Structure 1
C-alpha cells in the first residue's frame, strides 16, 4: 500500500461529489474505529454509518489502514488548528517580563499540547493500535511516519511561535524537542492507564515534569 500526504484529505482533481463521499466515510470511520478499534471495525458498518455501500469505500481507499491514515490526518489537522488558536489566546495577555511568566505559560501551554495529542483515552489507544500495526507491516511504515512527521512539524512550529513570544529559543532541533515531549508523555500516560490512575499521572506530568523539561530545552533568544 502506498499513501501520500495529498491522498489523505481530498486529493487534487477530485470531484466535489467524490470529496463529499470521502469526507462522510472518514467521519463514519472515526466513530466506528473509536468504538471498536481498527481490527474489529467492519467495513460494512463504516459504510452503513456513512450511508453508502462497500463500493464507496473501495473507490476511495485500498484498505482500512489507508482509511485510518485519512482519519488521522483530518483529526491531527483539526487538533493543530485548535491548539494554535488556544496557545495564541493563552499568551496574548502575558507579560514576558514577569518573574513567573515563563513557568506559568509553559505549564499552561503544556496542558494544551497534551490535549491536542490525546483528546481522550480512546483516541490515544486507537493511535497506539495502529502504530503497533505499522511497526509490524513494512508497507505501512513510510505513510505512517510521514503522517506523524506532518503532525509533529505543526506542533514544533506552534512551540517555536510560543517561545518567540516569550523571548526564548529552543536549544535543540524543534522536531527532536517535540518527539521528546510526546514520547515522555505517552510513556507516563500508558503507565497511568495500566495503574488506572490517569488523572493523577497527567497532573503530575503537567505541573512538575513538563515545565521543567521545557525549561531545560530553552534559552533566552538573545543568548
Structure 2
C-alpha cells in the first residue's frame, strides 16, 4: 500500500459523502450518477469504487452518518442539562430541534424510501438501518425520561417509531408550507401531550 493511502482514505470518503448529499438533493437519487458525485467531490471513479461498491451503498453510508450525527447531537444536548432540570418540556425542546441542512437530507431519504417501498430487497436493507437508528433513539429517550423521573408505558422502540413518524410527517408538511408550519412545530405542540399520556412516574429505589 503506498504511503499516505490510509490517511487519505477517510478524507476521500468524507468528500464523496458530502458531494453525494449535495448531488442527490439537487438532482434526485435516481437521476444522479456516480460520475456526477465524483466530479463534485473532485475524484475519479477509481476513488469512488475504492470506498463504495454502488450508489446504493453510498446512500446507506450517508444514512448511517446522518443517524450518528443526530444521535450525537441529541446525546450532547441531554448531557448539557444538569440533573434535576430535565423536564418533559425541556426534553421536547431538545427533540424538536430541526437544523436548516435537514431539508437536503429529507429530500434524499424520502426518494430512497419510495424506492424501498417498490423494491423488497432495498426495503429489507433500509429496514435494517432504520432498526439500528430506532434502537439507539429508544435507548436515548428512555434514559432521558428516566432522568426526568418518568418511564414509558409502551415499549421504547414503538414510541421511537411514533416519534419518527411525527417528525417525518411534520417535515413533509413544513417543507411544503414553511411559513404556515415551521419545522418542529408539530413536535413542540403535541409531543408533551403524548409523553404525559404514555408515561408514568418512575419508581424510586425505595419503592422498588
TM-score (norm: length of structure 1): 0.78
Residues 160, 64 of structure 1: CA spacing in aligned structure 2 closer, same or farther, 3 A cutoff?
Answer: same
1:36-81 Cα shifts (integer Å, max 9, x gaps): 2212222112112222211222333232111111111112111211
Residues 1:205 and 2:186 are matched in the alignment: yes
TM alignment of 1:5-84, pairs within 5 A: 15-84=6-75
What CA distance in whole angstroms lies between the structure 1 residues aligned with 2:11 and 2:101? 25
Residues 204, 111 of structure 1: CA spacing in aligned structure 2 closer, same or farther, 3 A cutoff?
Answer: closer
What CA distance in whole angstroms lies between the structure 2 residues aligned with 1:119 and 1:199? 19
Residues 1:92 and 2:82 are matched in the alignment: yes
Residues 1:168 and 2:150 are matched in the alignment: yes
Higher percent of residues as helix: 1
Deviation at 1:203, TM superposition (A): 5.5
The aligned counterpart of 1:185 is: 167
Residues 1:158 and 2:140 are matched in the alignment: yes
Contact residue 153 and residue 175 of structure 1 kept, 8 A: yes
What CA distance in whole angstroms lies between the structure 1 residues aligned with 2:155 and 2:40? 43
Contact residue 106 and residue 214 of structure 1 kept, 8 A: no
The aligned counterpart of 1:217 is: 198
What CA distance in whole angstroms lies between the structure 2 residues aligned with 1:44 and 1:16? 24
Deviation at 1:151, TM superposition (A): 1.4
Contact residue 106 and residue 211 of structure 1 kept, 8 A: no
Within the candidate set 68, 92, 98, 1:107 is matched to 92
3-state DSSP of counterpart to 1:169: strand
Deviation at 1:134, TM superposition (A): 1.2
What CA distance in whole angstroms lies between the structure 1 residues aligned with 2:115 and 2:136? 24
1:158-203 Cα shifts (integer Å, max 9, x gaps): 1111111111111111110010111123223323434x24663546
Tell me the C-alpha RMSD between the 2 structures: 2.5
Q: Structure 1: 5+ residue runs without aligned partners?
A: 1-13, 97-101
Residues 136, 159 of structure 1: CA spacing in aligned structure 2 closer, same or farther, 3 A cutoff?
Answer: same
